[in-house]
Structure 1
Amino acid sequence: MLDDAGLQALREAARLSPDNLPLRRHLADQLLAKGYLAEAEAEYRAALVLAPKDPEIAAGLAEAFVRQSAHGQALAVLEPFLSIPGHAPRLGVIAARALLGEGDAHGAARRYHEAVSRDPSVADADLAARLTPQPIAPTGPSAAPGSSWGAPGPSWGAPGAPAGGATWGGQGGPAQQPAEGPGGSQVERSAVSFSDVAGMEAVKEALRVKLLLPIQQPELFKAFGKRAGGGVLLYGPPGAGKTHLARAAAGELGAAFVSVGLSDILDMYIGSSERNLRAVFDLARRNRPCVLFFDEVDALAARRSDMRQAHNRQLVNQFLAELDGVDQHANEGVLVLAATNAPWYIDVAFRRPGRFDQLVFVPPPDHAARAAILRILCRDKPLAEMDFDAVARVTELFAGADLKGVVDRAVEAKLHQSISAGRAIPLSTPDLLAAAQAVKPAAVREWLGTARNYVMHANDSGAWDELMPWIKQVR
Structure 2
Amino acid sequence: MPDSPLIRSLRSAVDAAPRDLPLRLHLAQLLLDAGHLDAAVGEVAVALSQAPADPAARALMARAMGGAAPAAAEAPAAAETPAAPPQPQSPRPAGFDWAAAEEEVEGVVPTRFVAPPAPGTPDAPRAPEAPLAADGSGDPGGASAWDVEAPEGLRLADVGGMQEVKDRLEAAFLAPMRNPELRRLYGKSLRGGLLLYGPPGCGKTFIARAVAGELGANFISVSISDVLDMWIGNSERNMHEVFATARRKAPCVVFLDELDALGAKRSRTQHGGLRNTVNQLLTELDGVGDVNEGVFVLAATNVPWDVDLALRRPGRLDRTLLVLPPDRPAREAILRYHLSQRPIASVDLGKLVKITDGFSGADLAHVCESAAESALLDSARTGSVRMIGMADLLAAAKAIRPSTEAWFATARNVAMFANDGGTYDDLLTYLRKNGKL
- TM-score tier, shorter chain, comes to 0.5 to 0.7
- Cα distance change of structure 1 residues 159 and 269 upon mapping to structure 2, 3 Å threshold: farther
* Offset of residue 191 of structure 1: 4.9
SS of corresponding position for 1:427: coil
Q: Does 1:246 align with 2:215?
A: no
User: Partner of 1:243: helix, strand, or coil?
Assistant: helix
Q: Distance in 1 between matches of 2:376 and 2:157?
A: 29
Question: How has the CA–CA distance of structure 1 residues 159 and 430 changed in structure 2, closer, same or farther, with 3 Å as cutoff?
Answer: farther
1: CA distance between counterparts of 2:271 and 2:239? 18
Question: In percent, how many aligned pairs have the same letter?
Answer: 47
- Preserved contact between residue 215 and residue 228 of structure 1 (Cα < 8 Å): yes
- Provide closer, same or farther for how the CA distance between residues 317 and 425 of structure 1 changes in structure 2, counting only shifts above 3 A: same
In the other structure, the counterpart of 1:451 is 411
Aligned equivalents of 1:264 and 1:227: distance in 2? 29
Describe the SS at the equivalent of 1:231. Answer: strand
Instruction: Check the 8 A contact 1:229/1:335 in 2, yes or no.
Output: yes
Which amino acid in structure 2 is aligned with residue 212 of structure 1? L
Structure 1 pair 387–265 and aligned structure 2 pair: CA distance change class (3 A): same
Selected match of 2:352 from 388, 391, 409: 391
Larger Rg over CA atoms: 2
Gaps of 5+ in 1: 1-157, 161-178
Partner of 1:461, secondary structure, is helix
Displacement of 1:247:
1.3
**RMSD of aligned Cα (Å):** 2.7
Q: CA deviation at 1:185?
A: 4.2
* Superposed displacement of residue 313, structure 1: 2.4
> Which whole-Å deviations, capped at 9, do the CAs of 1:141-162 have from their partners, x for residues lacking one?
xxxxxxxxxxxxxxxxx999xx
Report if the CA contact (8 A) 1:290-1:334 is conserved. Answer: yes
Task: From 239, 248, 252, give the equivalent of 1:286.
Answer: 248
Shift of 1:234: 0.3
CA distance in 2, matches of 1:244, 1:252: 12
Residues 159 and 243 of structure 1: is their aligned pair in 2 closer, same or farther, counting only changes over 3 Å? farther
Q: Give the superposition deviation at 1:419.
A: 6.0
Pairing of 1:223-234 with structure 2 (within 5 A): 223-234=185-196
Conservation of the 8 A alpha-carbon contact between 1:325 and 1:331? yes
2:220 is matched with 258
Deviation of 1:186 (Å): 4.0
Amino acid at match of 1:266: L
When residues 412 and 181 of structure 1 are mapped into structure 2, their CA distance, relative to the original with a 3 A threshold, is: farther
Q: Aligned partners of 2:330 and 2:324: how far apart in 1?
A: 11
Alignment partner for residue 374 of structure 1, among 335, 341, 355?
335
Displacement of 1:456 after TM fit? Answer: 1.4
Who is 1:213 aligned against? Answer: 175
Report what 1:331 is aligned to: 292
| Partner residue in 2 for 1:92 | none
Structure 1's 215 and 474: CA in aligned 2 closer, same or farther, altered over 3 A?
closer
- TM normalised by structure 2 equals 0.62
SS of the aligned residue for 2:293 comes to coil
Equivalent residue letter for 1:333: G
SS in 1 for 2:321: strand
Q: Is the Cα contact below 8 Å between 1:211 and 1:335 reproduced in 2?
A: no
Cα distance between partner residues in 2 of 1:196 and 1:415: 30
Native 8 Å contact 1:180 1:187 kept in 2:
no
- Say yes or no: does 1:413 pair with 2:374: yes
Per-residue deviation at 1:214? 3.2
Distance apart, 1:232 and its partner CA: 0.4
The residue that corresponds to 1:462 in the other structure is: 422
Residues 241-298 of structure 1 deviation map (CA, whole Å, 9 limit, x = unaligned): 1111111212233321111111110011111110000001111111111111011111
Whether 2:322 is the aligned partner of 1:361: answer yes
| Residue 420 of structure 1, CA deviation | 7.0
CA contact (8 A) 2:223 2:262 kept: no
**Shift in Å at residue 220 of structure 1?**
2.2
* Alpha-carbon spacing, 1:180–1:365, altered in 2? closer, same or farther (3 Å): farther
The residue identity in structure 2 corresponding to 1:326 is V
Query: Quick check: 1:320 aligned with 2:282?
Result: yes
Residues 194-219 of structure 1 show CA distances to partners (whole Å, capped at 9, x for unaligned) of: 23211211222222333333333212
User: 1:289-328 CA deviation, whole Å, 9 max, x = no partner?
Assistant: 111101111112122222334433222111111011136x
More helix by share: 1
* SS, match of residue 398 in structure 1: coil
Q: Which amino acid aligns with 1:450?
A: T
In structure 2, the gaps of 5 or more residues are: 1-119, 123-141
Q: Distance in 1 between matches of 2:143 and 2:400?
A: 41
CA distance in 2: counterparts of 1:212 and 1:419, whole angstroms: 51
Deviates more, 1:198-207 or 1:446-455: 198-207
| Alpha carbons of structure 1 residues 218 and 381: separation in structure 2 relative to 1, 3 Å | farther
C-alpha distance in 2, partners of 1:298/1:268? 19
The alignment covers a number of residue pairs equal to: 297
1:331/1:421 Cα in 2 relative to 1: closer, same or farther (>3 Å)? farther
- Matched position secondary structure for 2:420: coil
Distance in 1 (alpha carbons) for counterparts of 2:259 and 2:147: 15
The 1:193–1:415 alpha-carbon spacing in structure 2 relative to 1, beyond 3 Å, is farther
> Counterpart amino acid of 2:227?
I
- Say if 1:193 and 1:251, in contact at 8 Å, map to a contact too: yes
2: CA distance, partners of 1:159 / 1:424: 42
Write out per-residue CA displacement over residues 36-70 of structure 1, whole angstroms, 9 at most, x where no aligned residue: xxxxxxxxxxxxxxxxxxxxxxxxxxxxxxxxxxx
CA contact (8 A) 1:203 1:362 kept: yes
TM-score using structure 1 length: 0.58
Which letter does structure 2 place at the counterpart of 1:376?
Y
